[in-house]
């Protein structure tokens, strides 16, 4: 479990082909110094396991399988790519963002960006089935960054990014067309599930026995 508050920006040092998946070697000295093998770290919002680390070289190794590579933007990473990093949430930590599971729901893309000084309003495309789980003033994670939704339409949504967020995450580097990982609020998923179950129950009652 994560909060969507990015701890550090890492740089992809190597992408090693390991069929059917690949190994990502990410350089971030501070996290590498304290990381242990087996712990979870979110890369662009996707929960991955540390499989090796080197405090000497300041790197962390992760393995991503074909399912992860096909359903997230991690398969597009190359040496030199910058990624958002967040260690998993401790029970005693403050929840400054929102509950983020690290399980990506789908891919969106930056559709438009309106800069006003150091501030930006960004519109992202979204699969329709994810947009129905969003609501204005609710939460969404974009490449692992917890954001507040401003406007939500059938297949896109907008967020307002403050200068700090633009400076300390990869969102400030996005250009129109860049793809991003999306995770909707887990609470919205449960609400949608309960409503669907209620509709099924009501439909069964209307049909009657047999």
The total number of residues shown for the chain amounts to: 210
Note whether residue 157 is domain-resident: yes
* β-pair type (82-87, 40-43): antiparallel
| CATH code, domain carrying 185 | 2.40.30.20
Indicate if 75 and 19 belong to the same structural domain. Answer: yes
Indicate if 45 and 72 belong to the same structural domain. Answer: yes
The pLDDT > 70 percentage for the chain reads 93
Indicate if 12 and 39 belong to the same structural domain. Answer: yes
Task: Tell me how many domains the chain contains.
Answer: 2
| pLDDT value of position 70 | 95
Domain that holds residue 15: 8-87
Indicate if 30 and 59 belong to the same structural domain. Answer: yes
Is pLDDT at 210 greater than 80 in this prediction?
no
**Residue among 104, 113, 95 nearest 186 (CA):** 104
Note whether residue 141 is domain-resident: yes
pLDDT digits (tens, 9 = 90+) for 159-172: 999 999 999 999 99
In which element (H, E) is residue 36 found?
none
Note whether residue 17 is domain-resident: yes
Indicate if 157 and 116 belong to the same structural domain. Answer: yes
pLDDT category of residue 192 using cuts at 50, 70 and 90 = confident
Note whether residue 2 is domain-resident: no
Indicate if 26 and 67 belong to the same structural domain. Answer: yes
Note whether residue 203 is domain-resident: no
In which element (H, E) is residue 204 found?
helix 186-207
Note whether residue 95 is domain-resident: no
**Residue among 37, 38, 29 nearest 7 (CA):** 29
| pLDDT value of position 130 | 96
Indicate if 121 and 163 belong to the same structural domain. Answer: yes
**Who contacts 2 (Cβ-Cβ below 8 Å, separation ≥6)?**
42, 45, 47, 86, 88, 89, 97, 100, 101, 102, 144
Indicate if 43 and 111 belong to the same structural domain. Answer: no
């Amino acid at each position: 479990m994560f909060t969507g508050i990015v701890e550090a920006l890492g740089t992809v040092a190597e992408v090693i082909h390991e069929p059917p998946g690949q190994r990502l070697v990410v350089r971030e000295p501070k996290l590498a110094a304290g990381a242990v093998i087996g712990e979870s770290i979110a890369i662009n919002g996707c929960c991955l396991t540390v499989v090796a680390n080197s405090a000497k070289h300041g790197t962390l190794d992760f393995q991503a399988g074909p399912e992860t590579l096909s359903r997230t933007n991690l398969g597009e990473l190359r040496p030199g790519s910058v990624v958002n990093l967040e260690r998993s949430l401790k029970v005693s930590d403050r929840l400054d963002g929102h509950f983020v599971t690290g399980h990506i729901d789908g891919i969106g893309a930056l559709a438009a960006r309106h800069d006003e000084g150091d501030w930006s309003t960004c519109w992202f495309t979204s699969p329709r089935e994810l947009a129905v789980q969003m609501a204005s003033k609710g939460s969404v994670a974009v490449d692992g960054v917890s954001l507040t939704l401003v406007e939500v339409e059938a297949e896109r949504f907008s967020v307002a990014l403050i200068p700090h967020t633009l400076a300390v995450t990869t969102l400030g580097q996005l250009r129109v067309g860049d793809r991003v990982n999306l995770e909707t609020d887990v609470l919205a998923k449960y609400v949608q599930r309960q409503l669907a179950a209620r509709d099924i129950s009501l439909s069964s009652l209307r049909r009657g026995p047999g």
